[in-house]
Amino acid sequence: MAMKLAQLKTLVKQGESETLEFKSSTANIAAAMETVCAFLNSDLGGKVLIGVKDDGKIIGQEITDKHSQALATEIKRIEPRTNIDIEYVVVQGNYKVIVLSVEQGNSVPYTYDGRAFVRLQSTTSRMTKEEYDYLYHKTNPQRWESLINNTCTINDLDKTRIKMIARMGVAEGRLPREALRASVVDILEYLKLIVNGKLTNAAVILFSKKEKQLMHSSLKLARFRGVDKNSFLDNKPIQRANAFDLYDKALEYLNFNLPVAAYIEPGKSERVEIPAIPYNVLREAVTNALIHRDYSNTGGDISIARYDDRIEIANIGKLPKGVKLTELSKKHASVQRNPLIANAFYVCGKFEKWGSGTNRMIDACKEAGVPIPEYEEIGDTFFVTIPLKEPTPTIIYINK
């Protein structure tokens, strides 16, 4: 909906801030674009109003085709290319205020005229090299998985596991049949885990043997008494294991600690088991934690905690740019933090690429009649909490 003059006046009354900037005219277009760039690099976005003085007086200006073309030209100097919402609010007669609405960018850091900018309170300033590097690595951690690993060779990888993943990939129809007879090197090339004959970090995370695995490829498993972390019933850390081993160990632990009800139908010899949480929900949550972990951050593990009332799975790494927490229960974009690692899980059928994992978890819980998962970000950590509705842990005989 287009902004009205009354809405503009209300906005201007707020004064310049971390998310609002005034410029008196398009004569200040370069400074306006620097602030647009800063808003793109921020977590909040913002608006730039051209035609408003620093003291908040709305003056507007006449907008000609020349002004509009100049504005479009300046926006094109922002890289990576992005869309900026432009509105023209009529003030009086032919005088208008240009409203540039900026959302947080999906491809930070952005630059204007080759330079990056940052917003601090109501001031726009040049971003330092340290700030730029930090922001780039923080928001593009997939670059880490593509880097060459200089400490491991082919002989340091679990070749049996690699061959098994290849067989699963062929069975899923996601690798060519030639992969069944391919060498370990060829399989890694199918998976794009080798660059110029050298292993990537992703290859190490996925397949390295324990003694050569990176220290932060680890998992914390715990069972707590009650609903907080005050009392351990069990504590089982898994140190230095490849991602597929962590996947297996996590599900083994969850299955062991998950309450299960069961019943026997007359005429059948095997009992039917009903877990408190559907197994496919747990598999999806564990897979997501492994493929979305920020492996460039060596300061934390993936953790899985079983409480009396819930299971909590956490991984270092906020949601990738382009995905919002509120969208996880709806149709949303598939943005992969670690596309190489994700692809290996996809190839063997443990992961789908369509951004539907959180929705499948919700649907499976609804179908089973159990509480749905909850998603949360705290600092740089992403949490999936699955409420636990205890089933009756006895065998129930059902007569039909």
pLDDT per residue rounded down to tens, the chain (400 residues): 789 999 999 999 999 999 999 999 999 999 999 999 999 999 899 999 999 999 999 999 999 999 999 999 999 999 999 989 999 999 999 999 999 999 988 888 999 999 999 999 999 999 988 788 777 776 765 578 998 999 999 999 999 999 999 999 999 999 999 999 999 999 999 999 998 899 999 999 999 999 999 999 999 999 999 999 999 999 999 999 999 999 999 999 998 988 877 767 676 767 777 888 989 999 999 999 999 999 988 877 899 999 999 999 999 988 876 677 877 877 766 677 888 999 999 999 987 765 677 888 999 899 988 899 999 998 889 999 999 875 444 443 333 2
Specify whether domain 219-397 bears CATH 3.30.565.60.
yes
- Chain mean position to CA 189: 26
Matching residue, tokens 């399989």: 187
Q: What is the dihedral angle through the alpha carbons of 169, 171, 177, 183, rounded to the nearest 10 degrees?
A: 50
Backbone angles phi, psi at 275, to 5 degrees: -75, 155
Cα 151 to Cα 146, 147, 213, 298: the distances in Å are 15, 12, 10, 16
Q: What average pLDDT does the chain have?
A: 89
**pLDDT over 90 percentage in the chain:** 67
Helix (H) or strand (E) holding 344: helix 339-347
235: closest CA among 245, 243, 225, 244? 225
Question: Which part of the chain is CATH 3.30.565.60?
Answer: 219-397
The alpha carbons of the chain give a radius of gyration, in whole angstroms, of: 27
Q: Which CATH architecture has domain 5-138?
A: 2-Layer Sandwich (3.30)
Q: Rounded to an integer, what distance in angstroms lies between the CA atom of residue 37 and that of residue 22?
A: 15
Query: Is 338 in contact with 191 (CB distance < 8 Å)?
Result: no
Q: Give the bridge partners for 56, in sequence order.
A: none
Biggest CA–CA distance in the chain, Å, is 86
Question: Which part of the chain is CATH 3.30.950.30?
Answer: 5-138
Q: What interhelical angle do 279-292 and 357-368 show, nearest 10?
A: 160
Question: Tens digits of per-residue pLDDT, 17-41?
Answer: 999 999 999 999 999 999 999 999 9
